[in-house]
């Protein structure tokens, strides 16, 4: 009889040449690619230091992501179908086949996340079948814990937070909302980027990369121009 896995972390990553287009006025494509990889490294670092994690898997179809994942000794699942929900569904099925009790789905653009944040979310899985952490604006889903992994189908995209709550209500499963300022700060816009830099994020690889290419100065200059 195979041993059941406790919690598996799923990190979906879309192709980097399509990522963070809303930052294109500040970051050219080459810098956006590296920026995404640094955020991925910060999230993986937090995952690696989290208790009660049996396994973590990155689902993507980008060779740059594969190379980063290999450096951190994290499982890589090649995305079979395009689309975030399809990629997550593929990873959930992969975890379910391994008899995993719970999955925790994380985006890459929350580089401030800490092991403490993730431990707190995971600790709630015995009380709720779904634990969800919203974005700052309350529209997006920045962390989603599901027990069992297929208890609902994910609905990432616009207004995903509300749609996930509706899915839980429709299935009549108990859920918990976990609020964390660090998880809530996802970096999609220039305003988000500025807030991230102001959050004393110096210890993250993401911040160090942004500093190395002069983003704090670029942001200051852009404000002066306005």
Distance (Å) of CA 187 to CA 23, 117, 131, 153: 9, 18, 22, 25
Per-residue confidence (pLDDT) for residue 137, from 0 to 100: 86
Q: pLDDT tens digit string along 51-89?
A: 888 899 999 999 999 999 999 989 999 999 889 999 999
- Neighbour-count burial for 156-189, b at 16+ CB within 10 Å, e otherwise: beeebbebbbebbeeeeeebbebebebbbbbbbe
pLDDT > 70? residue 24: yes
> What's the pLDDT band for 219 if we cut at 50, 70, 90?
confident
Domain that holds residue 58: 5-225
Three-state secondary structure call for residue 5: strand
- Kindly indicate the confidence band of residue 201, based on its pLDDT and cuts at 50, 70 and 90: confident
Does residue 41 sit in helix, strand or coil? helix
What is the predicted pLDDT for the residue at 193? 94
Q: Can you give the pLDDT at residue 35? A: 97
Report yes or no: 129 and 145 within 8 Å, Cβ to Cβ. Answer: no
**12 within 8 A of 97, measured Cβ to Cβ:** no
pLDDT at site 218: 84
Mean pLDDT, the chain, integer:
93
What pLDDT score was predicted for residue 217?
A: 87
SS3 186: coil
- Residue 4: the pLDDT is 55
Look at the alpha carbons of 17, 32, 187, 25 in this order and tell me if their dihedral is positive or negative. Answer: negative
End-to-end CA distance of the chain: 65
pLDDT of residue 84: 95
pLDDT of residue 222: 65
Angstrom CA distances, 41 to 49, 212, 216, stand at: 13, 16, 21
- What pLDDT score was predicted for residue 223? 59
Strands 100-105 and 141-146: antiparallel
Beta-carbon contacts of 167 under 8 Å, excluding residues fewer than 6 positions away, are 152, 153, 155
Beta bridge partners of 162: none
| pLDDT band, residue 226 (cuts 50/70/90) | very low
Q: Closest Cα partner for 67 from 94, 36, 89?
A: 36
For residue 225, what pLDDT band results from cuts at 50, 70 and 90?
A: very low
pLDDT at 52: 82
- The CATH number of the domain where 109 resides is what? 3.90.550.10
Kindly state the average pLDDT of the residues 157-176: 97
Give the number of domains in the chain. Answer: 1
């Amino acid at each position: 009889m195979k041993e059941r896995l406790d919690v598996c972390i799923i990190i979906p990553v879309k192709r980097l040449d399509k990522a963070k287009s809303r930052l294109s006025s500040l970051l050219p494509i080459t810098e956006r690619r590296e920026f995404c990889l640094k955020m991925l490294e910060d999230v993986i670092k937090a995952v690696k230091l989290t208790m009660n994690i049996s396994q973590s898997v990155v689902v993507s179809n980008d060779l740059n992501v594969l190379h980063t994942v290999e450096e951190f000794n994290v499982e890589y699942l090649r995305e079979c179908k395009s689309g975030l929900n399809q990629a997550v569904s593929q990873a959930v099925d992969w975890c379910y086949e391994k008899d995993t009790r719970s999955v925790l789905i994380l985006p890459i653009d929350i580089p401030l996340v800490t092991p403490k944040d993730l431990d707190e979310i995971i600790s709630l899985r015995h009380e709720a079948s779904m634990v969800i952490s919203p974005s700052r604006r309350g529209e997006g889903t920045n962390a989603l814990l599901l027990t069992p992994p297929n208890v609902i189908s994910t609905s990432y995209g616009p207004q995903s937070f509300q749609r996930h709550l509706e899915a839980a209500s429709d299935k009549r499963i108990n859920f918990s909302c976990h609020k964390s300022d660090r998880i809530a700060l996802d970096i999609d816009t220039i305003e988000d980027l500025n807030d991230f830099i102001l959050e004393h994020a110096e210890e993250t690889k993401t911040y160090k990369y942004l500093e190395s290419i002069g983003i704090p100065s670029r942001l200051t200059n852009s404000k002066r121009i306005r």
